[in-house]
Structure 1
């Protein structure tokens, strides 16, 4: 399948950083492949958009929302071999939004800037553009600090308590948002769930046969190359974002929003956010 892509960057249009505008910039060089040697040290990258959001977006929600963002940050300022990776997933639209791409990645950023905060901002700009929540990897917790400091804590997605609880016995959650991917069991489960999502059948013909799967609608070359190479030592930042996405989707498929136990978790999170009114609090429900 083909998609028309845009290469460029997002820029804030107001002081409180609640609105952005897209600017095409073909001078920027996006990181499209796994072999970074071919970029000759220019790893700044660019945002690649396979489908822009509609002019009118539904209200952002923490559960079963049209757009989802996963983010694998880097640890330190200045240069290194690890790259920041941000992906934007679009789910299956309801009747009001039943146009364009679905159940695939519609935007991505891969690259490394001098300042970690500048890479965080790319994730927040994409969240603003798609009116989405960000589920970051919190093995490197700086994104949590930065979200609090910039009063955008509520843009982060709550921790996947149900999904992780099915993998680990008595898991601990250091943060109420994001996901810790340091456990090998969590990584393995993320990989298995990702494989299931990639092989999900699409385009059922009149004979009841699938003519395509989700992988046929995955437009990222870098992401595919990382998945192929992931059995070898290396940095797999995009692959990690896909693992996180697969875990997020699996939690939503559980229908957990109606479970009394998890409703109590949401109440506790709401009470917690009420103590952080300066951080842009909004109710989870």
Structure 2
């Protein structure tokens, strides 16, 4: 496995700066975000990455599929656009953050229109996947369902465990639908190692960062540099390797202090911690 920078880890870098940083620090891959790709333009972004000799380890993100009616149709259309973008970028996968309860907006208080139908929200995800998986398959794109820690179930992802994501993925060819193993989101799960083994080559992305304790007031920013939190990485890495994963290890950190730091120092620390903390 080789190390990849998810560009949100160095959020204040432009796409060009992040690509240049990866090249200067000897990385072979980069995880891209659609917002940054849009800023530069899809074709120009693809050319920039290829000219630098980098792989695209993932494209973030599609998903948010749990609404109904016209909003559901709009979400499907946006995800088809995301699939097309992933195809152009030759991304190893398109990460899907599936969405929370209907009407609950990420990070915002509940309103009178906020839904509570968790089972129905999960059904919408299954319905959306039935529409999107064949479309992705036709374009050579692998969808990667990402379970998020249960603290994000209300507003970001009604899939909370690797097992839940895997149960949905198994209905489709493995080249169409896989799963993400993100240490921040799954480290706590007592079934993690059994489900990693069950996933096998369904693992489309292995993302790492630490789980800070205590969490900050904004729990979205509770991701830390590996070694700064509570996660025991080597057993998880060994399990992912034993399952047959041969892709990149992508470092994805949402953290105000990391974002404020010199991105070059972040990359240097990231490389050192990967060698010291993450490896099996």
TM-score (normalised: structure 2):
0.30
Give 1 or 2 for the bigger CA radius of gyration.
1
